[in-house]
Structure formats: C-alpha cells, structure tokens
Amino acid sequence: MSTQTDQPSFVDRYPEEAAVVRRSLLVAFVMLGIGALMGLVQALHRTNVLRIIDSADYYTVLTAHGVFLAIVFTIFFLVGLYQWAVTRSLDRSPVDIRFTHAWATMMTVGSLMAGAAILLGFIDEVPVSADVLFTFYAPLQAHPIFYAGLAIFIVGTWMAGADWFRTWLAWRKDNPDERIPLQTFMVLTTMIMWYVATLGVAVEVLVFLLPWSLGLIDSVDPLLTRTLFWFFGHPVVYFWLMPAYLLWYTVMPKIAGGRLFSDPLARVVFILFVLLSTPVGIHHQYVDPGIAQGFKFIAMTNTMFLLLPSLLTAFTVVASIEHGARQRGGTGLFGWLTALPWRDPAFTGMALAGLLFAAGGFSGMVNAGMNINYLVHNTLWVPGHFHLTVGTAVALTFMAGTYWLWPQLTNREIYSRPIALAQVVMWFGGMALMSNAMHVAGLFGVPRRTAEPQYSFDFPALFGTIGELRLQIAVGGTLLFISTVLFLSNLAFSLGTPKREGFGQTIPPALSGPEDSPAVLDNMKLWAAIAVVLVVLAYALPLGAIISDNGLFGVGIEPYPMLVRPLFDWAGATLAGLAEVIA
Amino acid sequence: MHIHSYEKLWLGMALLLIVGFIGTITYGTVGAGVQMVDDSGGNVEPGNVSEHEEFGEPGVEKVGENEYDVHVVARQFVFNPGSEVYGAIEVPVNSTVNFYVTSADVIHGFSIAGTNANTMVIPGEVAEITIETEETGEYGIVCHEYCGEGHHNMEGLLRVVPEDEYNGSTQ
C-alpha cells in the first residue's frame, strides 16, 4: 500500500481520466462479486454439500460465473488499468476524452445486454436465456441479445485500443526520437494481439451466430464455429494475463523496494505474446474429430514456444524483487526473501499470485502435451488449471494491484490493511486447496461442467477418496468467496476514509533501460504484420479443410433450445396479421 | 542488446525445456504410436443419423480376429448403446476396439472413466478412437461436454468380459 509522498497523485493530475479508471474498476468489481457468488453456489452444488438450485439451473449459474468473471471482470479491469498506464507513462490525456467515455459506455451496454440474457435464464416464464456457457458452442443457442451484447462489448474494446493508439501517435509527434515508455509499449502490444485474436470471435458472432439466432440463416457448422471460438479463446487468456504482467513488471519491483531488472526483456516478452498467442487455439481441440493430426501438431509446437515469454517473466520478476530486497538490506542466497515487504498486501498478493501461477504453468504444460491431453481433456483438471492462471495469477494480482492503485485514484487510504493482507492470504489458501483437489479429481476422470458428477459407477481414485476431494473443493470455494467479500467490503469502506494528500507514486526506471535494446522492438507495424502471417499459416489450411468438408453453414443442424425461433415466428405472424387488418 | 549472463543461461534452459517437451510429444506420436482423434472418421448428417448405414443400427460388430467396431450415437442425454435404456457396451478382453461416435443433436463428449479414451462428439463429424482392452471390468462412460439441462444424467457403461463369456451382443 502507499506510503506518504510529496508527489501529486494520479487523480490530482488527471481527474477526468482517474474517473474513467475508477468507473471501469467499479464495474469490474461488481461483476467480481456476482461471479464469486455463482462460484460458491457451484462449489457447494457439485460437491453435494448444499444444493439450493435445481441442477438444470446449474448451467445458468455456470454461464454467469464464466462470462461475468472471465470476460467482464477481467476486461473492465484491463481497460481501467491500461487507461491509467497510458495516461501516466505518456504523461498526457486522451486526444478526446468524449471518445474515452464512448468506449466505456459501449462496453457497459454490451455487458448489460449479455448479462441480462444470461440471468433471465433463471426465469422460466421469460423466453430469453443464454445457457450456453463461456464457450457458447453451437448448436446450443442463446437469445440474440446475448450475441449482440457480446459484439457491442468487443467493439467497445476495439475503440479503447484505438483511443490508446491515438494518444500514443499524438505523443509521438511531440517526441519523435524517444523510445515508447514501457507501460505504453505493453498496452499497445496487448491491443495488437487483441485485434488479431478478436477477428475469430467477431466472424463467429456476426457472420454465423447472431444471424442464426435471429432466424436469418438456418444452420451453422458446429466444428467451424467452435474453431473460430478457439481462434479467440486462447489469446483471450493472454488478454487477461498481460495486464497482470504489466503490474508484475512495472509496479511490483517498485513495491518490493527496487526497480525492474530488464526493460529490453520485458519488451521481448510482450512481442512474443503478440506473435504466438493466436496461432495456438487448436490446442483446445486436440480431441476434436474433423481436424487432421498435422494441424494439431503445429498448434502444439507453437504452444510450447509460448512457454518462453512466461519463463522469461519468471526470471525477470524474481530478479527484480530480489534486487528490491537487497536494496532493503536483504542478504544471503535466500535470506533476502525475509527482507521483502510481506506486510504489504499489494506485494504479498502479487507474490502469492505469481507462486500459484508457476504451479498453473506446470499444469498448463501438461494440457499442451497433445497426446497427454487425452487423460485430462474436459476433466476437472482443466478448470483446476485455469483457476490458478486467470483465477489467481490474474484475479489476485488485480486485487493486490488495486490496494496500491486505489489511493492514487481517490486520494483516500484503503480502509484496513490487516483485512487486505488476510484477504490475499485467504485467496491463496482457498485456491491452493480447491485447485489441487480439482487437478487430482481430473486425473481420476471426473468431468468438468456438470451439476452432479455423481454417476451410477465410481471413479477409480488412485489415492485418497473422491469424498475427500469434494470436501477440499467445497472448503476452498467457500474461502475464496469469503476472500472476495472481504476485498469488496474493504474497498467499499475505503470510499468513506478521509481525503488527504500524499498518495502520488512514481515508478523508477529499469536497471537495464530501453537504450539497451534495438529500436526495432518498437516497430508496431512489423510485429503486427508477422503476427498476421503466423495466424494465416496456422489457420488457413484447417479452416479451409473444415469448410470444404462441411460447407460454410453445415447441414441439418437444429438449434437447442428451440426458444427464439418460435418467438420470432410468433412476432412475424402477429405483424403479418396486423398488416392484413390494416390493409 | 544487453542481456545479463544469468538471463542468457535461463533463456537457454527454457529453450531446452521447450524442445524437450516437443521431443517427448513427438516420441509419443511416432514412437509410442498415440494417434490423435482426427478427420479419419468422416462426416455424417446429424438429422439423418437414423438412416445411416452404421449409425442407423449402432452397436458392436466383430470385424476381425480380436477386433471389434463399436458405433455409438450420442444424443440428449443418452449414448446408444451404452446408456441404461440401450444396454451396456460389451466387448471381450484382449481385443482391439474401434469406437465411432457421432452426435444426433448438440456437441457431446465421450470418455471412458479411468482411461485415456476421450474424445469430443461433434454433430456432423465422426470421432474415431481405438482402445486395447487389457483388463476385464466395468468402466463408466461420461458425457464431458455440457449438452443441455440434463447433461449430468448422460452416462453409459462399457463392460469388458472374459473371452469365453462374450456372446457377441449388446446388452
């Protein structure tokens, strides 16, 4: 958390921008609260500890948990953080703040539409639902407002990216010879990746799913649409992760008392993400029929090379905090660890998030192993994995980062530091428990995405019992929910702490600065072009093969549930009737 | 570009790890012969599954000495055969079993609990996986992809029986 300084804070210098950041974060945290509640319901329902809903409604809960947390919470936090990072590191306002407000509004409207479609699934009397889970695989069908909301939300993120590129170009005019400041570099590279990645989902939604849900086209091909989903579905995980990396690279070393070890390596890492995040999506389809083995092999090798930026990050981040610890008087081979600011929830939260990310990285390597994937595909192992990555590396880093950033956005102290510290430790403990049990249960074959993994046969537990694992999941999930409540209430109480001055923070330059790296790293056009070429190489043939086998729209695929079309037929019949009466 | 010597060492080790991983996967494919589910099963029209030559009457069929083909149709929320209403899939031990699985409606999953037999079942596509039956016993079959509000009830049974007890019919 922040110490007293004589610097003006972010809100002192950029009040309008700070308001945009605060609002984005608030939307993110409201979604975090709802999503966490859904998570608790699931953890207790699946394990048969407490079932307060029908099992049929479990999938509505699961859809809300996935979409609210993995899309709305993460991306609203991202746009807030990135708006702060661009403004701060370029030291200038957006070219036109009305445009900034416009994208924030678009994203909010899109989220509300998609969110409403999902939550109306709880009310059987209303023929609107989107019980399609985070992946919305056709021919499961959602109400058109779900797809339309999603499209509007994504267009909002595109506008946000355009806004930051515009700010950067304006800055470039005034500073023709300077290197791009690191935080802005990270924002721009993230957005290049995002533009490439979202092409897949944009085509999926706008060309196929939305017209299909409106009854404009009869059928869509399940394999083609899910391949387009995963074109987007893997890089989106880096869209979650890159803001966490931004905090680890630029904020964490400072909190640890030092500075970033290497600015050039940080740039290389983000460029590797631009290049390799997208041409790997088929690794989610290792056991899909209809895709040749060779394409899966290519996705596998690309995926393995995508380990490189994360392994480099592990080095740089640890080296940076070790440097910080030694600045604080730490000594010895491992003795420096004790000199770190463990009482600071911002530091401890990020450090624990990084620790669990390492574990998540290892389970991810297993997922990436094409033929080992048979053992774990669609088992509970997989959500065990991504609760370590997006559910901890990202979510816990965001919460910890908020403890550091919030005072600079409001000029108000965080209400309670001990509660904040307890909160991040509780998240770590709850997640360690829950995710470990999920991994193990997955190895025994327990499937993910099911309301009642209790079948007429028993899963062969190789050690321990399925009952013990269920208990760990229930306890872990409960701890995570309590941790979320502590975070949100601590933040809510922070709205009422007295305003004061002295929250300004600076970020010290890296030990090895940008002047140590070649200028070509800052050539955004070049990296964008190479990224597109790699995507074309990875996807042209598989997509071509699917379309030549199945046609663009598939044959004879009926949507499920049959809710929307009768409604539209009914509306059409009513309109036709009215027209007759009037005529 | 300036890179610290420890960082160079780390970079080298990371690359070695990555190449090592790719090597083990390649060995698994080429050496150990673990083939991925691919496009070999061909296509079938989901609406016409019941008129399909094989999927019209799904079940176990002996196709060679110790080799069996099993055609399975997945639909909300049953496997035919496999689920209770259709009877368990029964095959003899020490045989090669080729599963051909397709869907008549939405996307399903097909995995045999406790083994690595695991595939997506996508309408329009036929998933082909081959297993060797090495131990007798009953194995649960799970639909592991959300397929609608009764998804959690979608299960089946594979019974691997001693050769002399095998009578060649689905039950």
Could you tell me if B88 and B149 lie in one domain? yes
Subunit contact A222:B124, Cβ cutoff 8 A:
yes
Would the pTM count as exceeding 0.90? yes
3-state percent breakdown (helix, strand, coil) of chain A, nearest 5: 70, 0, 25
Subunit contact B114:A445, Cβ cutoff 8 A:
yes
Q: Give the residue from A465, A417, A405, A474 showing the smallest Cα distance to A441.
A: A465
Among residues A68, A76, A165, A238, the one annotated as catalytic is A238
Tell me whether residue B130 is in a domain.
yes
Distance, C-alpha A135 to centroid of its chain: 14
A98 is catalytic: no
Tell me whether residue B82 is in a domain.
yes
CA distances from A548 to A391, A553, A557, B97 (A): 39, 11, 17, 30
Alpha helices, DSSP H only, in A137-292? Answer: 144-174, 182-203, 210-213, 222-233, 235-246, 252-255, 263-276
A535's CB contacts (< 8 A; 6+ apart) are: A196, A231, A278, A279
Tell me whether residue A76 is in a domain.
yes
CB B85 within 8 A of CB B156: no
CB B75 within 8 A of CB B105: yes
CA torsion angle B83 A447 B92 B169 (round to 10)? 10
Q: Which residues of A touch B99 (CB under 8 A)?
A: none
Taking the Cβ of residue A308 and every Cβ of chain B, the question of whether any pair is shorter than 8 Å is answered with yes
How far apart CA A248 and CA A351 sit, in angstroms, is 9
Q: Give the residue from A212, A201, A312 showing the smallest Cα distance to A262.
A: A312
Q: Which DSSP helix (H) or strand (E) runs through A349?
A: helix A345-368
State the complex-level ipTM: 0.95
Q: Which residues of A touch B128 (CB under 8 A)?
A: 289
The pLDDT of residue B94 is above 90: yes
Tell me whether residue B39 is in a domain.
no
User: Is A333 strand, coil or helix?
Assistant: coil
- Give the pLDDT confidence score for residue B171 in this predicted structure: 45
Helix crossing, A307-327 with A263-276: angle to 10°?
160
CB A357 within 8 A of CB A434: no
CB A114 within 8 A of CB A131: no
Tell me whether residue A333 is in a domain.
yes
User: Is A430 strand, coil or helix?
Assistant: helix
Q: Are strands B155-161 and B118-121 parallel, antiparallel or unpaired?
A: unpaired
Q: Give the residue from A281, A267, A136 showing the smallest Cα distance to A205.
A: A136
How far apart CA A496 and CA A416 sit, in angstroms, is 12
CA distances from A250 to A392, A413, A509 (A): 19, 22, 9
Q: What token pair was written down for A46?
A: 């699946």
Beta-bridge partner residues of A428: none
Peptide bond into B77 cis (omega under 30): yes
Task: Identify the sign of the CA torsion B29, B32, B36, B39.
Answer: positive
Residue A352 sits in a domain of what CATH number?
1.20.210.10
CA distances from A441 to A136, A178, A380, A472 (A): 25, 53, 6, 11
Could you tell me if B108 and B131 lie in one domain? yes
A377's CB contacts (< 8 A; 6+ apart) are: A286, A287, B111, B118, B144
CB A132 within 8 A of CB A63: yes
Q: Are strands B155-161 and B89-92 parallel, antiparallel or unpaired?
A: parallel
How far apart CA A252 and CA A321 sit, in angstroms, is 7
Count of domains observed in chain B: 2
Q: What token pair was written down for A569?
A: 């037929």
Tell me whether residue A568 is in a domain.
no
CB A443 within 8 A of CB A375: yes
Q: Are strands B127-132 and B96-103 parallel, antiparallel or unpaired?
A: antiparallel
Mean pLDDT of B132-141: 95
Give the burial string for A205-228 (b: 16+ CB within 10 Å, else e).
Answer: bbbbbbbbbebeeebbbbbbbbbb
Distance from the Cα of A129 to chain B's closest Cα (Å) equals: 12
Tell me whether residue A4 is in a domain.
no
Residue type, A203: V
- Residue A240, Cβ neighbours under 10 Å: how many? 24
Per-residue DSSP letter, A286? T
Tell me whether residue A571 is in a domain.
no
Low-confidence ranges of chain A (pLDDT < 50): none
How far apart CA A423 and CA A577 sit, in angstroms, is 60
Peptide bond into B46 cis (omega under 30): no
Tell me whether residue B81 is in a domain.
yes
- Report phi then psi at B99, rounded to 5: -90, 135
Q: What token pair was written down for A181?
A: 């400041």
Beta-bridge partner residues of B103: B74
The partner residue sitting opposite A312, judged by closest CB among B14, B22, B39, is: B14
- Give the pLDDT confidence score for residue A583 in this predicted structure: 66
Tell me whether residue A217 is in a domain.
yes
User: Is B69 strand, coil or helix?
Assistant: strand
- Give the pLDDT confidence score for residue A360 in this predicted structure: 96
A386 is catalytic: yes
Q: What is the chain A residue with the closest CA to B11?
A: A312
Could you tell me if B124 and B150 lie in one domain? yes
Instruction: Compute the C-alpha angle A63/A65/A69, nearest 5°.
Output: 120
CB A273 within 8 A of CB A237: no
Tell me whether residue B171 is in a domain.
no
Tell me whether residue B40 is in a domain.
no
Could you tell me if B10 and B87 lie in one domain? no
How far apart CA A490 and CA A419 sit, in angstroms, is 7
- Report phi then psi at A124, rounded to 5: -65, -25
Taking the Cβ of residue A312 and every Cβ of chain B, the question of whether any pair is shorter than 8 Å is answered with yes
Structural domain that includes position B20 = 1-34
How far apart CA A29 and CA A24 sit, in angstroms, is 9
Distance, C-alpha B53 to centroid of its chain: 21
Tell me whether residue B25 is in a domain.
yes
Q: What token pair was written down for A304?
A: 């393995």
Q: Give the residue from A382, A372, A94 showing the smallest Cα distance to A237.
A: A382
Tell me whether residue A3 is in a domain.
no
How far apart CA B37 and CA B122 sit, in angstroms, is 12
- Give the pLDDT confidence score for residue A563 in this predicted structure: 60
Q: Which residues of B touch A460 (CB under 8 A)?
A: 113-114
Q: What token pair was written down for B68?
A: 């069996």
Q: Which residues of B touch A272 (CB under 8 A)?
A: none
Task: Identify the sign of the CA torsion A360, A363, A365, A368.
Answer: negative
A305 is catalytic: no
Q: Which residues of B touch A267 (CB under 8 A)?
A: none
Tell me whether residue A6 is in a domain.
no
Q: Give the residue from A278, A267, A73 showing the smallest Cα distance to A184.
A: A267
Structural domain that includes position A123 = 12-171+179-552
Alpha helices, DSSP H only, in A369-459? Answer: 373-376, 381-388, 395-410, 417-443
- pLDDT tens for residues B95-129? 999 999 999 999 999 999 988 899 999 999 999 99
Query: Residue A293: CA atoms inside 13 Å, Cβ hemisphere, count?
Result: 15
Q: Are strands B96-103 and B67-75 parallel, antiparallel or unpaired?
A: parallel
- Give the pLDDT confidence score for residue A493 in this predicted structure: 97
Subunit contact B21:A365, Cβ cutoff 8 A:
yes
The partner residue sitting opposite B36, judged by closest CB among A286, A311, A379, is: A286
Furthest CA-CA distance within chain B: 73
Per-residue DSSP letter, A553? T
- Give the pLDDT confidence score for residue A574 in this predicted structure: 65
- pLDDT tens for residues A131-161? 999 999 999 999 999 999 999 999 999 999 9
Residue B72 sits in a domain of what CATH number?
2.60.40.420
CB A45 within 8 A of CB A51: yes
Count of domains observed in chain A: 1
- pLDDT tens for residues B24-74? 999 999 999 899 999 999 999 998 899 999 999 999 999 999 999 999 999
Taking the Cβ of residue A265 and every Cβ of chain B, the question of whether any pair is shorter than 8 Å is answered with yes
Among residues A147, A270, A273, A386, the one annotated as catalytic is A386
CA distances from B57 to A538, B94, B159 (A): 39, 25, 20
How far apart CA A238 and CA A190 sit, in angstroms, is 8
Q: What token pair was written down for A280?
A: 């790997």
A234 is catalytic: yes
